[in-house]
Amino acid sequence: MTPETITLALPKTEWPYLEILMRITLALALGLLIGMERERRGKEAGLRTFGFVALFSAIGGTLSESFALASLALTALLAIFLNIQALLVTRTAELTTSTAMLVTSMAGILCGQGHTLTPAAVMVIAAALLAWKQPLSGFTAGLTENEVRSALLLAILAIVIYPALPRGAVGPFALIEPRAAWINVILIAVIGFVNYVLWRLYGSRGTEVAGFLGGLVNSSVTVAELAGRVSQQPDQNLGTAYRSILFATAAMIVRNAGILVVLAPQVLVSALPPLISMLTICCLLVVATLRRRDQEAAPLLSSHMKLDLPFSLWVALKYGALFLILHIAGVTTQRLFGEIGVYAVSLLGGLVSSASAVAAAASLAVKNAATPEVAAAGAIIATLSSALVNLPLVVAAKHPVLTRRVSIAIGLIIAGGIVGVVATVKFMPYLRALTEAS
């Protein structure tokens, strides 16, 4: 038997060259991304180390699962040696760098196995966590105990309680679907919590900004606070208070539209023209006042504005109870009185919480308890009633000029919503016909 025959008889594996090259290149690029950040901070494990870890792990992931586990174990051993050296030299452990090295190894293994988006997303998140060390530390140091508790409560609502709820409809006449109702509660909680964080970050930079961000959390509380400040200083800040009230109203409209986008996009199609009309009038009124901006001596709102934390346990329970009441009332009145019942519930619900009322109207359309057009009308009625309820809060400030200007503005906003509803009723059938024809 010749040597050539022996060579041909040996088993061999041929990898697709381009495919393997792409996997290794992606792993190297991701490793260099982390290594660049570590190199910039003067760490012992820098650009080349993380590049080699990513390449080594990608090769292990390409070979087999056993080689992948071995590459991860060897990377962990390297991290141990790195920490021992750091403890001997600087007496501090390199825990962050070691963890980043293990994450890089896992991402390299995923690249070697043929994954692309998942390891890329993981490494981008890891690089962001490393690069944003100071902002994250500053943000954490500025948190209060109540804010941390609210964040934990939000996690409990989403991760602990939701999986424990029964599936499907329960109760008499199958009016309640616990999981579907709880999703709406979580959605309202997340919107309010994010908006509260934004208000904490940027609300003190200007009264108008604080008015908008406060309106995203609770427009009635924001308007009441603004009106109260004007009553304390009747000769100052009139223009700023007026613009901020308009911003708070616009924020409420934007928030309600966002709820429809997430819960029932088909309802938003019918509700969009009135919402755009109201929002446009708010913007035009703000632009008109900017031409004669008053010179205020001091801002009306500050970072100490009295807004409740969006999701203490009481507020979360209040949102849940209010949503369930509005949903049950909407379904019941719709069955008994048809569209009029839905509109009446939306009107009363908007006076208390337009977010809950809009979510309840959207849930009726999702469960086919009402048509998208009826649910959209209910959402618009809730939004209009929420804007209208701000007027008594301004009247309570006993400032005739502000009361007159806000009354005219709210009247125009409501008129814009009504015009949008009329336009929707008149032209929506033609639009749907064109859509179906296309």
Q: What is the pLDDT of residue 152?
A: 82
pTM to 2 decimals?
A: 0.57
Q: What is the pLDDT of residue 366?
A: 84
List, in order, residues 6 or more apart from 354 with CB less than 8 Å away. 219, 252, 256, 382, 383, 385, 386
Q: List, for residues 164-213, the tens digit of each pLDDT value.
A: 888 876 766 666 777 777 776 776 677 667 656 666 665 545 567 767 77
Q: What is the pLDDT of residue 188?
A: 62
Q: What is the pLDDT of residue 242?
A: 83
Nearest-5° Cα angle at 10, 9 to 15: 120
d(CA 105, CA 59): 11
Q: What is the pLDDT of residue 297?
A: 43
Low-confidence ranges of the chain (pLDDT < 50): 1, 5-8, 10, 204, 294-305
Nearest-5° Cα angle at 125, 123 to 126: 60
d(CA 22, CA 326): 55
Q: What is the pLDDT of residue 34?
A: 92
Q: What is the pLDDT of residue 157?
A: 82
d(CA 47, CA 193): 38
d(CA 173, CA 336): 14
Q: What is the pLDDT of residue 236?
A: 52
d(CA 243, CA 248): 9
DSSP class per residue in 88-150: HHTS---HHHHHHHHHHHHHHHHHHTT--HHHHHHHHHHHHHHHTHHHHHHHHHT--HHHHHH
Contact 408, 246 (CB under 8 A): no
